[in-house]
Amino acid sequence: MVARDLLNRLKERLGPALLRVDTPADDRIFIHVERDAIRAVCRHVFRDLGARYVISIGADDRPFSGEYLVAHDFAFDATHLLGSVVTRVPESDPRLDSITPDVPAANWAERELRDLVGIEPVGHIEPKRLILPDGWPEGAHPLRKDVAWNFVPEGYDPEREFKFGEPPPGCTVVPFGPFHPTLDEPAHFRLYVEGEVVRGCEYRGFMVHRGIEKLAESVLSYNDIPMAAERICGICGCVHNVAYAQAVEEAAVLRAPPRAEYIRTIMLEIERLHSHLLWVGLACHILGFDTLFMQSFRIREPVMWIAEKISGNRKTYALCLIGGVRWDLTLELIAELRRVLDALEVEWRAVIKAVLGDKNLQQRARGVGVADRSLVEELSLIGPVARAAGVPLDCRRDHPYAAYDRVEFEVVTHEGGDVWARIVVRMKEVFESIEIIRQCLDKMEPGPIQLAIADELPVGRYGLSSVEAPRGESHHFVITGENHRPRRWRVRAPTYQNLQAVPAMIKDQQLADMTITLGSIDPCFSCTDRFEIVDLETSATRVWSAEELARLARAGRR
Residues that bind other proteins (CB under 8 A): 172-175, 180-182, 196, 284-291, 293-295, 298, 358, 360-361, 363-364, 510-515, 554, 557
- Of the pair 322, 514, the CB lying nearest other proteins is at 514
- Of the pair 61, 202, the CB lying nearest other proteins is at 202
- Of the pair 180, 373, the CB lying nearest other proteins is at 180
Give least dist CB 183 to other proteins, A: 10
* Strand 28-33 with 81-90, pairing: parallel
Closest CA to 493 of 206, 260, 263, 222: 206
Give least dist CB 499 to other proteins, A: 19
Cis peptide upstream of residue 178 (ω within 30 degrees of 0)? yes
CB 249 within 8 A of CB 457: no
- Of the pair 36, 290, the CB lying nearest other proteins is at 290
- Of the pair 313, 360, the CB lying nearest other proteins is at 360
End-to-end CA distance of the chain: 67
- Of the pair 177, 384, the CB lying nearest other proteins is at 177
Tell me the sheet residues that pair with 489. 478
- Of the pair 341, 514, the CB lying nearest other proteins is at 514
Distances (CA, A) of 130 to 89, 229, 447, 460: 21, 22, 47, 29
Give least dist CB 387 to other proteins, A: 23
- Of the pair 469, 514, the CB lying nearest other proteins is at 514
Q: Which residues lie below 8 Å from residue 70, measured CB to CB, with a gap of 6+?
A: 38, 56, 57, 58, 59, 86, 87, 88, 89, 96, 113, 119
CB 114 within 8 A of CB 140: no
- Of the pair 90, 288, the CB lying nearest other proteins is at 288
- Upper half-sphere CA count for residue 197 (Cβ side, 13 Å): 7
CB 142 within 8 A of CB 151: yes
Closest CA to 58 of 34, 86, 37, 23: 86
Give least dist CB 420 to other proteins, A: 12
Conformational region of residue 349, where left means phi above 0, alpha means psi within -120 to 50, and beta covers everything else: alpha
- Of the pair 125, 294, the CB lying nearest other proteins is at 294
Give least dist CB 311 to other proteins, A: 26
Give least dist CB 279 to other proteins, A: 15
- Which amino acid would we find at residue 120? E
The Cα–Cα gap between 387 and 304 comes to 26
Give least dist CB 423 to other proteins, A: 11
Q: Which residues lie below 8 Å from residue 85, measured CB to CB, with a gap of 6+?
A: 31, 33, 38, 41, 42, 45, 71, 72, 73, 74
Give least dist CB 286 to other proteins, A: 5
The Cα–Cα gap between 234 and 185 comes to 11
Give least dist CB 347 to other proteins, A: 11
Give least dist CB 305 to other proteins, A: 16
φ and ψ at residue 21, rounded to 5 degrees: -130, 125
Query: Residue by residue, what is the 3-state secondary structure of 160-218?
Result: CCCCCCCCCCCCEEEEECCCECCECCCCEEEEEEECCEEEEEEEECCCCCCCHHHHHHH
**Residue 254 burial (C-beta neighbours within 10 Å; 0-12, 13-18, 19+):** middle
- Of the pair 286, 403, the CB lying nearest other proteins is at 286
Give least dist CB 251 to other proteins, A: 44
CB 55 within 8 A of CB 73: yes
Closest CA to 213 of 161, 112, 312, 143: 143
Give least dist CB 196 to other proteins, A: 6
- Of the pair 328, 358, the CB lying nearest other proteins is at 358
The Cα–Cα gap between 85 and 332 comes to 48
Q: Calculate the CA 532 to chain-centre distance.
A: 16
CB 502 within 8 A of CB 203: yes
- Of the pair 150, 172, the CB lying nearest other proteins is at 172
Give least dist CB 173 to other proteins, A: 8
- Of the pair 167, 481, the CB lying nearest other proteins is at 167
